[in-house]
Structure 1
Amino acid sequence: MRKKETFNRHQKLAFKVIEYIYKYIDTNINIEELASDLSVDRFHLQKVFKEQFDTNIYETIKSIRLQKASNLLLTNIHSTITETANQCGYSSQTSFITAFKKKFNQTPKEWRKGGYIKYSNDILKTAHFDLNKKFDYSMIEPKIVKTETQKAYYILQRGYSYSEGINNWKKIQAWSYTHDLKECIEIGIFHDNPVITPSSDCFYTAAIVPKDLDKEIESNLLTLNIEKGLYATFDISGKFGEVLPLIRWAYHEWLPRSGFETNTKPSFAIFHKNPVFDENKEFEATFYLPIQYS
């Protein structure tokens, strides 16, 4: 029992670190301050994080900064490279360009001019996505909505893994049955753009928002706030995995032409039919793409 309690405690701590990093990615994240905020020793925090995710906190921060920047370079076409770097927590354009080139083997300018295409295609190949299959999104009419903050119970995973994703959704389902929750919203949160982020580096969250809940449930699941904001929404349907080409189109084609820009908030999908629980692995969902206009 003690071993299970320790695992659950360590997992919650590691999840909180990831949540903190994504929330404050535009700042100079100090691990001492992070540990203090979480009321733990810095060395213990680093050890626990390494155990849970098989990587260290410094490398994770660096990777997330670059993944966020690589996405903004494509979508925020009127922002300068310096503005993009600042938005992802870099204080120096020089250090950003050096780090970017080391990771992507091209400069931010080369990436923006089309260098991302081969990189993205290679990622989709590893995701077993048929690049020759054509999807017509011309009939999708996005709506612009303003959402309110939603408190969700969640399980986070590193790696866009089919089997782990199914397992986590089933855990969420079992948790909702255990607590006799009658009506819930199922939300998949894409903390990274999965079509330009290697599957092994993606963080994905399976989350559930109980409706009409009087008080927080004490359990092994953590809570997070899906922050209020401005979103473009797309009603979509298809087979398991076919959300990836929609994300690619929304970020790489629709957004640059739309006159909107995005930010470092995650995108997410609210499932009306979850492919994990459908016998034909089909889904119906509304995809929420964070946008800004000023």
Structure 2
Amino acid sequence: MKKETLEKRDKIANAIMYYVYTHIDTHIDLEELSYDLDISKFHMHRVFKEAFGKNIYESIKSIRLQKAANLLLTNRYSTISNIANLCGYSSHSSFIKAFTKRFDMSPKQWRKGGYKSYSNEIMKQSKKAMNSKADFSRLVPTIVKMPEIKSYYIRNKGYNINIRETWQKLQTLILNNDIKEYKQIALLHDNPVITPLNECQYIACIQTDEKEETLSQRVPKFKISSGVYAKFDVQGHQGDILKFMNWVYHEWLINSEYETTTKPSYIIYHKNNFLSDDNEFNMSFYVSINY
């Protein structure tokens, strides 16, 4: 397939995903979206599945249920029906059925502590996370308003060791083009605390104002959403990151009285554990919040 065709397909797939995230709590009109993109619905679905490994409807359901899983914990005074409506479900029963199928427990069971056992099973998929002794209980975030970030990226299917190879490819691009000023950013399309690690969409990105024409010919571009975020500055070893994210979503967020949104969390690396010889990281973690 020609490089121009691949770039065009990546642009379409990213436009669809961006639309889904920004309209997740409303009616998503794929007919209208295909019209705006000037492609057929059939072509739109095919391009999306090739890029993300699942169809658009599966992605919509996954994002809505991830949001519901968080809202059930952070919106303590909302009824399950309220949360179903907030996540785009018009039927209480269809929401319960979809949630139970996804998490192997009802929303009520999840709310009463089931989320802990579910997340612990996911944590067990990473030996390094299970061996982590890090303690984040005294960590306090700063609340910041972040601008939109335009980045170049390579997508990695799965939160796994393959991420190192993905970062090495981006690093090769940086060195080959003698880029001096840049940021390394990881965009987490899926919440690895409640999504099996082999199913997570991990996006390795670089943000730079240099060599735009050269970079855009080699790798696709993506916009990271602007908004209000809780920013956590964290240092540690590779296995500490999953444990940290588990703490953010299932301890800090629950006790903070904030709620998260459907905007993906992201990491700005000051030291990238996937590229460092000692597997250590120094990062700022951003989680989107409302109050």
The question of a shared fold, defined as TM-score above 0.5 by the shorter chain, is answered with yes
Moved more, 12-21 or 23-32: 12-21
Kept in 2, the 8 Å contact 1:151–1:225? The answer is: yes
User: For residue 55 of structure 1, what is the aligned residue in structure 2?
Assistant: 54
Give CA deviations for 1:121-142 in whole Å, capped at 9, x if unaligned. Answer: 1111123345364321133222
Kept in 2, the 8 Å contact 1:273–1:284? The answer is: yes
User: For residue 40 of structure 2, what is the aligned residue in structure 1?
Assistant: 41
Give CA deviations for 1:8-46 in whole Å, capped at 9, x if unaligned. Answer: 443443333323322222122232222223222111222
Structure 1 CA distance for aligned equivalents of residues 211 and 228 of structure 2: 25
Moved more, 132-141 or 268-277: 132-141
Structure 2 CA distance for aligned equivalents of residues 105 and 277 of structure 1: 37
SS in 2 for 1:218: helix
Structure 2 CA distance for aligned equivalents of residues 12 and 214 of structure 1: 16
Give CA deviations for 1:73-114 in whole Å, capped at 9, x if unaligned. Answer: 223333332332233222232221121122222211111111
Q: What TM-score, normalized to structure 1?
A: 0.88
How far is 1:211 from its partner? 4.6
User: For residue 105 of structure 2, what is the aligned residue in structure 1?
Assistant: 106
Structure 1 CA distance for aligned equivalents of residues 94 and 187 of structure 2: 30
SS in 2 for 1:291: strand
Kept in 2, the 8 Å contact 1:191–1:266? The answer is: yes
Structure 2 CA distance for aligned equivalents of residues 62 and 230 of structure 1: 25
Closer, same or farther in 2 for the Cα pair 1:266/1:29, shift >3 Å?
Answer: same
> Match for 2:268: what amino acid?
I
How far is 1:178 from its partner? 4.3
User: For residue 202 of structure 1, what is the aligned residue in structure 2?
Assistant: 200
Structure 1 CA distance for aligned equivalents of residues 178 and 38 of structure 2: 33
Moved more, 112-121 or 177-186: 177-186
Kept in 2, the 8 Å contact 1:15–1:156? The answer is: no
Structure 2 CA distance for aligned equivalents of residues 123 and 56 of structure 1: 23
Closer, same or farther in 2 for the Cα pair 1:138/1:116, shift >3 Å?
Answer: closer
User: For residue 275 of structure 2, what is the aligned residue in structure 1?
Assistant: 277
Kept in 2, the 8 Å contact 1:144–1:231? The answer is: yes
User: For residue 259 of structure 1, what is the aligned residue in structure 2?
Assistant: 257
Moved more, 103-112 or 270-279: 103-112
Kept in 1, the 8 Å contact 2:269–2:283? The answer is: yes
Q: 2:86 matched to 1:90?
A: no
Kept in 2, the 8 Å contact 1:150–1:209? The answer is: yes
Kept in 2, the 8 Å contact 1:75–1:252? The answer is: no
Closer, same or farther in 2 for the Cα pair 1:75/1:222, shift >3 Å?
Answer: farther
User: For residue 240 of structure 1, what is the aligned residue in structure 2?
Assistant: 238
Q: What TM-score, normalized to structure 2?
A: 0.89
How far is 1:169 from its partner? 1.5
Kept in 1, the 8 Å contact 2:235–2:282? The answer is: yes
User: For residue 147 of structure 1, what is the aligned residue in structure 2?
Assistant: 146
Structure 2 CA distance for aligned equivalents of residues 53 and 229 of structure 1: 25
Q: 2:218 matched to 1:192?
A: no
SS in 1 for 2:97: helix
Give CA deviations for 1:266-288 in whole Å, capped at 9, x if unaligned. Answer: 11111000112211111100111
RMSD: 2.4
Closer, same or farther in 2 for the Cα pair 1:177/1:203, shift >3 Å?
Answer: same
SS in 1 for 2:127: coil
Moved more, 25-34 or 45-54: 45-54
SS in 2 for 1:234: strand
Closer, same or farther in 2 for the Cα pair 1:110/1:8, shift >3 Å?
Answer: same
Closer, same or farther in 2 for the Cα pair 1:18/1:161, shift >3 Å?
Answer: farther
Give CA deviations for 1:225-257 in whole Å, capped at 9, x if unaligned. Answer: 222222221111112232111111111111111
User: For residue 268 of structure 1, what is the aligned residue in structure 2?
Assistant: 266
- Identity in percent: 47
Structure 2 CA distance for aligned equivalents of residues 41 and 251 of structure 1: 39
Match of 1:289 among 284, 287, 290: 287
> Match for 2:140: what amino acid?
E
